[in-house]
Amino acid sequence: MKIILIGPPGAGKGTQAKRLEEKYKIVQLSTGDMLRAEVAAGSELGTQAKAIMEKGGLVPDDLIIGMISGRIDQADCANGFILDGFPRTVPQAEALDDMFQAKGMELDGVIEVVVDDDAMVARITGRFTCAKCGAGYHDTFQRPRQEGVCDNCGGSEFTRRADDNEQTVRERLKAYHDQTAPITGYYGQRGLLKTVDGMASIDEVTKQLTDILG
Ligand code: ADP
Ligand code: ADP
Ligand code: ZN
């Protein structure tokens, strides 16, 4: 199964992708996570991306396309994957089509997580992640069952992203509407686009997704 999740920052793409990974035995491919790993490793790509990410802009298409093309060739992707945060521009969507064709792969569907922008600042500024296993949490909406302890791995260290501040979120929302939202039309025209209500509870969104995916 090969699917794309589309939605603005804070829509819940990462949260849902982690749940779909387990249910369908497919891997989450988050270009944001991949870029943060490049930044942490101090690679050339990471060096080019860092300042852009800190400001909430989009990293150039050619860098992203090369990164994802190499990733989907890896063995763990053989059973399928969820693209989270890619494609983010029409040229990226076109490049993905070419890539799939060249690799003999087929896209099963594209799901847009529809949310109110007004709610996304609170979602993003309250977001934190387990440093050990990457499980996602929120100060208000998804607290660990036991304060300070990861539900998933028992870890007690958490991190917050440098770009999860109000000013950068507003830039990222703008980039989403200017550059990413047009790809819903690109897939809609081909009958590939479905939507879920991202303002519903996390469990309810998962149910809507699994109803679509079967
Ligand atoms: P994205 O990957 O789309 O940027 P995340 O999955 O990281 O978004 O979710 C952003 C924040 O909002 C996280 O802290 C997460 O715990 C929380 N969250 C995700 N989905 C919901 C939801 N349906 N209702 C309330 N909070 C949510
Ligand atoms: P979120 O879903 O919370 O907006 P991501 O983790 O997907 O954030 O992305 C973080 C940052 O990484 C983006 O603001 C952007 O600078 C960069 N980025 C991630 N994916 C892409 C992409 N497909 N194209 C261009 N830039 C990207
Ligand atoms: Zn953990």
The structure's pTM equals 0.97
Does the annotation count 123 as an active-site position?
A: no
Residue 51 pLDDT = 96
Mean predicted lDDT score pLDDT of the chain: 97
Q: How far is CA 74 from CA 44, 80, 198, in A?
A: 21, 11, 31
Q: Phi and psi for 2 in degrees, rounded to 5?
A: -125, 115
- For residue 17, which atom of ligand 1 is closest to its CA? 6
| Residue 32, ligand 1, Cβ within 6 A | no
Q: Which of 19, 132, 161, 194 is catalytic?
A: 161
* pLDDT tens digits, 125-169: 999 999 999 999 999 999 999 999 999 999 999 999 999 999 999
Say what the pLDDT of residue 66 is: 95
Element holding 114 (H helix, E strand): strand 109-114
Q: What does the pLDDT read at residue 162?
A: 93
Is residue 204 a contact partner of residue 141, using CB atoms and an 8 Å limit?
no
Q: Give the distance (Å) from ligand 1 centre to CA of residue 140.
A: 11
- The pLDDT assigned to 106 comes to 95
Concerning whether 25 is annotated as a catalytic residue, the answer is: no
- State the pLDDT at residue 134: 93
Query: What one-character-per-residue DSSP string does 7-48 give?
Result: --TTSSHHHHHHHHHHHHT-EEEEHHHHHHHHHHHT-HHHHH
Give mean pLDDT, residues 160-187. Answer: 97
